[in-house]
Copies of this chain bind each other. A is one copy, B any other.
Amino acid sequence: MLLEAVYHRPKLNWSYAYDSETIHLRLRAKKDDLTEVYAFAGDKYIWNQSKELIPMSKFASDDLFDYWECAIKPAYRRLKYGFLLKSDDDEIWMTENDFSKERPPVPDRLFEYPFINPADVFKVPAWVKDTVFYQIFPERFANGNPDNDPAGVLPWGGKPERDNFFGGDLQGVIDHLDHLSELGITGIYFTPLFEATTNHKYDTADYMKIDPHFGDTEMVKKLVQACHERGIRVLFDAVFNHSGKTFAPFVDVLEKGEQSRYKDWFSVREFPLEVNDGVPTYDTFSFEPLMPKLNTDNPEVREYLLNVAEFWIKEVGIDGWRLDVADEVDHQFWRDFRKTVKAANPDAYILGEIWHESSPWLQGDQFDAVMNYPFTDAVLDYVVRGTLDAKGFANAIGRQLSRYPQQASEVAFNLLDSHDTPRLLTLCEGDKNKMKLAALFQFTYGGTPCIYYGDEIGLDGEQDPDCRKCMEWNPDKQDRDLFEFYRKLISVRKDLSVLRTGSITFLHAEEGGSKLAYERRLGKESVLVLLNNYDAGQTLEVPAAGQAWHDAMSGDS
């Protein structure tokens, strides 16, 4: 037994409250090393009457490790526990500090989950896992009202540049909600809508005002109401890491320097504010002078931003926030943010932009989910880049599942592209089959899938700004086959709750090739998914018990 590979520590993804009465325990071990694992658990105050051995099962694997798990509902919400590890030829007990051949005679040195306190339980909105999201970049989705176009607006469909405008607006979104409903979309994530100077609006000028080129508060209320009437939820984008250069407090600091009453709203390393050799004398996003970093250590700034967060929920009834550059803002702020947002709307979804492992933010006190770019990477490495074989892909997915509490995985925001990446079709070099394969995994996996506007009708585009092309509304120029594929995928996902909430087991993951088979299971319901990333048909044998199967995509039995 390789003891160096065995891992457990209290809390985090290793022992957490799944709900107000259930504790999940997890243990990591070397891949294929253990044959059985048990939690040895009880109430420390009545140890002898309550202690029991609870079998754990393997719920995920990666290239080096297996991850074992069990769920326990302790009668008095507290748990003392250790583990019993069995391999073919060995039995070892694991306590908090040690491994031993002997069963621990007393519970003192076992691990402990002291108490399930409701305040600490990571609760995610139930609606998210049943939602299919669609990301809209408003300047490029549809121009519904030419009257509010910016000066110098270009004809719809031109080549997107860093600084040009095509006049997309909120009326345009309202005009095209039928398109989303036809596709089956039930959630929209809007990149920023507040007044700003750029076409992407990530340089906020006024957090309390809809950009006049998009519309106004009344228009956005109308839009949100129209969405809600169709069962579509709406996320706004909060750019709280930095403001824009035209944000009034920053303008004041630019004008008055150290005399500005807003000087502590930002993080100025040295006055005067200037840029030397490309480096601003104040903290910014990256080294971008347009985007001065907000100082959330300042109570005034915190109060201002929390008020913004609350205002748009109460004023227009949004269903959550996507948080830009979320990992560069302090954890304390996000904790206050969660309290404010969930008080205003207990069902709000809080989605952070983080491109990395995000466990520090996914413990129940900050976000519900992050933009799941590690998911994106794994799917693209497997389907598009070919840098992962099926086995490597299954391992990458297993590793991701192991990292977070189950409720976080249930509402993970699983995207394949965005305004910050090349388009999926372009990554696939125009190969629609590859694109469909990637989407097939996305829609038959847990979490909440998100389609970047236009992917569904064949929009392509390289890295930003090219990935921000105008939406194609001419049906003759839309790829209706692709649209139909996405529509079908979404419809199948909606029909089969197992695809939204079932467990996943990889039944076959080819080494050195791309054949992959996995099962989603929920109670007696089971869906088998077979992926073939070869150019030609393949044969694959997988274990499938003798039930009645039918093809979910074609409906054939």
Contact = CB atoms under 8 A, between A and B. Distances in A.
A195 to B, nearest CB: 26
A262 interface: no
A357 B2 contact: no
A403 B335 CA distance: 24
B117 A10 contact: no
Contacts of A355: 112
A30 interface: yes
A332 interface: yes
Contact of A360 (B11, B328, B357, B360): B11
Interface string A306-348: 0000000000000000000001111111010000000000000
Nearest to A400: B97
A102 to B, nearest CB: 12
A545 interface: no
Contacts of A544: none
A354 B114 CA distance: 9
Interface residues of A, number: 52
Contacts of A283: 76-77
A322 to B, nearest CB: 17
A111 B96 CA distance: 28
B5 A333 contact: no
A2 to B, nearest CB: 6
A328 B357 CA distance: 29
B10 A97 contact: no
A347 to B, nearest CB: 19
Given A4-B4, A335-B335, A377-B109, A297 B119 contact: yes
Interface of A: 2-5, 7, 9-12, 30, 45-46, 64-65, 76-78, 96-97, 109, 111-112, 114-115, 117-120, 283, 286-287, 296-297, 327-333, 335, 354-357, 359-360, 365, 374, 377, 396, 399
